[in-house]
């Protein structure tokens, strides 16, 4: 009985050690403000992105836009509802996703997302500035 | 007995730190003589032991050699293929620092190294959890 208990205990520790050795993380930074964290585990992968936010306006726009996307995470399937602490958006890709969806298309989607996100936020910022200028011009016409 | 072992371990680390510092000085002198290829070869030789201080001291030397490289393609052409995996490990370490100039240089090296060595090099460098840098 005692040998069995010791055997079970050692098996548990070996299993935990195995899981920990499979779990690893890679941090890739473009600069101080933009980074990507990839965390692996036994059957899934978590990719977290921190997008460029040069000023306060971009900060607010990025937060609102990415929150909008995260709220509709079911539609994306691979998106996480809540980003990882310290990042703006997170993807969670499990083994089920790899079976149902094409891996290459999945990779293309994430790469395309990263390329487009900066463009989207710049366009949003430009449209906010344009509308602000128009509103200010119209308002000041009366004076 | 355990205390004797611990002091031997820390002496070993001190010896290794001294060797790494000498290597770092050698790398600096090679960089000053514009011998960038020799500098990077000296920097990439041997894996640092598991001690964090040794790894950090080793990384400082490698970082100096990596930042001194201007012609990445020329460097890779004259570098032996056996150094590709370890160079990729140091490139990923550089990418995790977050420093703008380091990341720019590491991204340039990563692009050229991937073209030359392929995706297998990336996988081998990330999957190796025993010989880390």
Give the per-residue pLDDT at B112.
94
Instruction: Give per-residue pLDDT as tens, A33-87.
Output: 999 999 999 999 999 999 988 889 999 999 999 999 999 999 989 999 999 999 9
pLDDT band at A115 (very low <50, low <70, confident <90, very high): confident
**Is A26 within 8 Å of B96 when comparing Cβ atoms?**
yes
Mean pLDDT of A114-139: 92
| B99 interfaces chain A, CB cutoff of 8 Å | yes
Instruction: Give per-residue pLDDT as tens, A84-97.
Output: 999 999 999 999 99
Give the per-residue pLDDT at A63.
92
Give the phi and the psi of residue A26 in degrees, each rounded to 5.
-125, 125
Integer Cα distance of A55 and A60 in angstroms: 9
| B5 interfaces chain A, CB cutoff of 8 Å | no
Q: Which residues of B touch A24 (CB under 8 A)?
A: 126, 129
The HSE-up count of residue A95 (CA atoms within 13 Å, CB side) is 3
| B96 interfaces chain A, CB cutoff of 8 Å | yes
Q: Locate B11 and state its tokens.
A: 């002496």
Task: State CA A140 to chain mean position distance.
Answer: 42
List the one residue out of B65, B60, B39, B36 whose CA is nearest residue B48: B60
Three-state DSSP state, A39: strand
Give the phi and the psi of residue A38 in degrees, each rounded to 5.
-115, 120
Give the per-residue pLDDT at B8.
44
Least reliable range by pLDDT among A19-23, A139-143, B96-100: A19-23
Write the CA distances from A130 to A62, A116, A125, integer angstroms: 18, 21, 9
Q: In what order do the strands lie in the sheet with A35-40?
A: A25-29, A35-40, A44-50, A89-94
Is ipTM > 0.90 here? no
Query: What pTM value is reported for the model?
Result: 0.82
In this prediction, the residues of chain B whose per-residue pLDDT falls under 70 are: 1-11
Give the per-residue pLDDT at B13.
78
Does the pLDDT of residue A139 top 90, yes or no? Answer: yes
Q: Locate B23 and state its tokens.
A: 């290597």
Pick the residue of A19, A29, A31, A52 with the most B CBs within 10 A to test the interface with B by mutation: A29
**Is B96 within 8 Å of A31 when comparing Cβ atoms?**
no
Three-state DSSP state, A139: helix
Q: Which residues of A touch B99 (CB under 8 A)?
A: 32
- SS3 labels along chain B: CHHHHHHHHHHHHHHHHHHHHHHHHHHHHHHHCCCHHHHHHHHHCCCCCCCHHHHHHHHHHHHHHHHHCCCHHHHHHHCCHHHHHHHHHHHHHHHCCCCHHHHHHHHHHHHHHHHHHCHHHHHHHHHCCCCCC
Integer Cα distance of A122 and A119 in angstroms: 5
Give the phi and the psi of residue B48 in degrees, each rounded to 5.
-70, 155
Q: Which residue of A has its CA nearest to B105?
A: A30
| B100 interfaces chain A, CB cutoff of 8 Å | yes
């Amino acid at each position: 009985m005692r040998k069995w208990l010791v055997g079970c205990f050692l098996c548990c520790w070996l299993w935990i050690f195995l899981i920990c050795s499979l779990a690893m993380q890679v941090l890739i930074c473009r600069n101080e403000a933009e980074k990507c964290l990839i965390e692996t585990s036994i059957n899934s992968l978590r990719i977290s992105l921190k997008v460029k936010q040069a000023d306060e306006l971009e900060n607010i726009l990025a937060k609102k836009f990415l929150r909008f996307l995260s709220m509709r995470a079911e539609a994306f399937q691979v998106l996480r509802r809540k980003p990882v602490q310290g990042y703006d958006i997170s993807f969670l890709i499990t083994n089920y996703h790899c079976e149902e969806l094409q891996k290459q298309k999945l990779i293309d989607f994430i790469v395309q997302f990263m390329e487009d996100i900066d463009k989207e936020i710049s366009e949003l910022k430009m449209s906010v500035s344009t509308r602000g200028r128009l509103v200010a011009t119209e308002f000041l016409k009366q004076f | 007995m355990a205390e004797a072992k611990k002091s031997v371990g820390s002496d070993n680390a001190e010896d290794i730190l001294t060797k790494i510092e000498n290597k770092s000085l050698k790398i600096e002198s090679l960089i000053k003589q514009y011998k960038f290829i020799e500098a990077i070869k000296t920097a990439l030789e041997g894996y640092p032991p598991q001690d964090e201080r040794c790894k950090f001291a080793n990384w400082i030397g490698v970082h100096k050699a990596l930042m001194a490289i201007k012609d990445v393609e020329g460097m890779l052409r004259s570098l032996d293929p056996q150094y590709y995996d370890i160079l990729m490990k140091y490139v990923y370490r550089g990418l995790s620092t977050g420093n703008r100039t380091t990341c720019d240089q590491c991204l340039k090296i990563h692009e050229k190294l991937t073209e030359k060595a392929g995706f297998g090099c990336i996988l081998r460098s990330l999957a190796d959890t025993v010989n880390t840098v």
